[in-house]
Chain A
């Protein structure tokens, strides 16, 4: 969904979009709280001003992402190379090279992207964020929990990491916190189950 294998250029502005002409806030928003919202500058990222400290995932998770990306890169290169050298398809070399370039650029932003993953346990809900170019914030009340899933991939296991998935009745919730230290993941799972137990809501 929000996760797309696109290279991230923090702060970049798509050039083809003309600047908005009308003044800011031309349409009066009825019933809106009269708080004088400081108008965010154009191109500012989404942020939750009232949110507290974001908990970050382990920096080691960058390795997992890099390994995954590199494996993909190798497969792409191998496929393109096979098409080029064995079947004499010259276009494959170009396409393969282009994809490889995009992947390599996106590799450079991997640490930044991992840093953007964050979560926090608030009083009644779990808040989750990820992405820099395509940002996504999700808030899930604890009572909506159906189950918590912990998975460990091969690379993550080597690094002592685990992925935690908070599953609700809605398939679109998609709250998956990757790259937690295994002990953290277990503790977080127990904490979430406990919180959900005390705020249970039926379906």
Chain B
């Protein structure tokens, strides 16, 4: 256990205010450079400048003293503000909760209960990453309800996440020594193709400069090599993730998945329109309208590509870990039972390659953007059927047995018929002319599976313990056809668990079966203290039944702003 999770108040990385304001610092720098552009050109290339810039102006008016004074005052104010903000920004991790106090004039105190944690995310934006800092984000359910620790030393953030997850899991005694962290040690990831081999072992702890002995130069060298080692370290840091559970994306497949996307069709249409307009001539406005969009699309491709690079998903003791990103890396751990719905989809263009995408609904949302630019709800940007199976096993451990595996297989690729799913009757062809055979549901191992779509295929899995409610609808058209619409209500997200057509009698049965299953699963669900249940299951814990979450009047997160 690191010293950070001892229940006392701690401060963040001293450079935090600077890093948090990173973009503004750079904007300021850019502003200054833009204003002094000619002077810079003069200094660097010796080309004499013609017109005056702000510095000349100041000099000519004889206000050098004032200017220096003002600059110094601004600098001092910034320094004082940064120092104060750093001193006032403290956090505490106790057995019950994570708390953050911040603000100078407007104090705010935010507290998140550990048993309500929806995920712990470590984000390393490019610039803080260069300085060996990372942002730790504890998400709980709700809008803007995250507790952010920005920034911590990189290794400290990893350690703190481990501690938070351990405390949240309900494991009271410290875990065996085998999973003590080896920050970026070699070995892990050495066998992964495409990974840079043998990252420099980083001894420096979280950006603290080892200033003793060896002189300044030596210390600087150590610091630099530690930074480089961290920067080149494999994205999946070695935290007891069994290598066989790790799913990665080959580079070619990633490129292919981005190229064969709906956006490409859009771009292709735009390019064709552009060429036609040039050939026909006379309509410059089209060029003006489309060309900037095309340039922007390059940026879109690039950002999608870099964000999905170095993607990995792995099963750890404390849930599924999803990491991705080349320049800005993000690495989120979702504890067991935090996923409310899973959607496995296959766009038409991906069918020849047999690729699938997995996205999820979850209650807590990290503020950091995800792999596809949307909120981080894509668990697998692109993967083969085999990858899908592995990921689903990680997300839904009950689905590891053959029966469920076969069910998923059929749910993904079957053309319908008698295959374990309750499919829509033939008369549904009036509403779903192609996909009615495949439109159906199944209930198995604590989850509902909804299957639909025949060109773009889709399978939705909803864990019954997370299901909020079930509804069935019927309008006049469906009444005439003795059909209905069924909808499983989950927390908001990209996955919609809706069945467009279902036999009316079957819909009523679904309502009853799924509700009963949801009640039963919730009763036996103890994932808010996931580790404790595992111990109870093994009979190793001294009679520690997972008690119901003792929830006070306050919700999962409380915030006091004074």
Task: Known contacts A141-B522, A202-B527; decide if A136 and B472 are in contact (CB<8 Å).
Answer: yes
CA distance A201 to B522 in the complex (A): 6
Determine the chain A residues whose CB is within 8 A of the CB of B424 once the complex forms.
27
A89 interface contact, C-beta 8 A? no
Q: Which of A12, A25, A201 has the most CB of B within 10 A?
A: A201
Determine the chain B residues whose CB is within 8 A of the CB of A42 once the complex forms.
480, 482
Partner of A44, one of B473, B482, B518, B522: B482
Task: Known contacts A48-B512, A141-B515; decide if A203 and B141 are in contact (CB<8 Å).
Answer: yes
By Cβ-Cβ distance, the 6 closest A-B pairs, closest first, are A170-B468, A170-B489, A201-B522, A20-B427, A140-B469, A138-B471
Taking chain B's interface residues, is the majority helix, strand, or loop, or is none over half, making it mixed? mixed
Q: How far is the CB of B31 from chain A (nearest CB, A)?
A: 43
Chain A 26-42 residues near chain B, CB threshold 8 A: 26-33, 37, 39-40, 42
CA distance A33 to B508 in the complex (A): 13
Task: Please classify how large the interface on chain B is, using the bins under 10, 10 to 19, 20 to 34, 35 or more.
Answer: 35 or more
B556 interface contact, C-beta 8 A? yes
B519 interface contact, C-beta 8 A? yes
Q: Which of A20, A133, A135, A141 has the most CB of B within 10 A?
A: A141
Q: How far is the CB of B229 from chain A (nearest CB, A)?
A: 39
Interface 1/0 per residue, B349-377 and A, CB below 8 Å: 00000000000000100000000000000
Determine the chain A residues whose CB is within 8 A of the CB of B528 once the complex forms.
202
Determine the chain A residues whose CB is within 8 A of the CB of B482 once the complex forms.
40, 42, 44
B509 interface contact, C-beta 8 A? yes
B252 interface contact, C-beta 8 A? no
Determine the chain B residues whose CB is within 8 A of the CB of A125 once the complex forms.
515, 519
A31 touches B512 (CB 8 A): no
A48 touches B423 (CB 8 A): no
6 A–B contacts, CB within 8 A, in A order:
A17-B481, A44-B504, A169-B363, A170-B469, A174-B471, A202-B116
B506 touches A32 (CB 8 A): yes
B469 touches A175 (CB 8 A): yes
Task: Known contacts A14-B480, A22-B426, A172-B489; decide if A200 and B468 are in contact (CB<8 Å).
Answer: no
Taking chain A's interface residues, is the majority helix, strand, or loop, or is none over half, making it mixed? loop
A137 touches B471 (CB 8 A): yes
Task: Known contacts A31-B442, A33-B509, A199-B522; decide if A45 and B474 are in contact (CB<8 Å).
Answer: yes
A87 interface contact, C-beta 8 A? no
Determine the chain A residues whose CB is within 8 A of the CB of B551 once the complex forms.
200
Q: How far is the CB of B380 from chain A (nearest CB, A)?
A: 24
A13 interface contact, C-beta 8 A? yes
Minimum CB distance partner of A8 in chain B: B476
Partner of B425, one of A2, A25, A171: A25
Determine the chain B residues whose CB is within 8 A of the CB of A17 once the complex forms.
430, 477, 480-481
CA distance A12 to B548 in the complex (A): 50
- Other contacts beyond A137-B511, A140-B468: 14, CB < 8 A: A12-B476, A17-B430, A29-B506, A30-B420, A139-B469, A139-B511, A139-B515, A141-B518, A144-B468, A144-B518, A169-B468, A200-B549, A201-B465, A202-B527
Determine the chain B residues whose CB is within 8 A of the CB of A139 once the complex forms.
469-471, 511-512, 515
Determine the chain B residues whose CB is within 8 A of the CB of A40 once the complex forms.
482, 504-505
Determine the chain A residues whose CB is within 8 A of the CB of B423 once the complex forms.
27, 29
B512 touches A2 (CB 8 A): no
Chain B 407-464 residues near chain A, CB threshold 8 A: 417-427, 430, 437, 442
Minimum CB distance partner of B517 in chain A: A141
CA distance A30 to B414 in the complex (A): 14
A49 interface contact, C-beta 8 A? yes
CA distance A57 to B199 in the complex (A): 69
Q: How far is the CB of A54 from chain B (nearest CB, A)?
A: 15
Interface 1/0 per residue, A184-203 and B, CB below 8 Å: 00000000000000011111
Q: Which of A28, A30, A200 has the most CB of B within 10 A?
A: A30
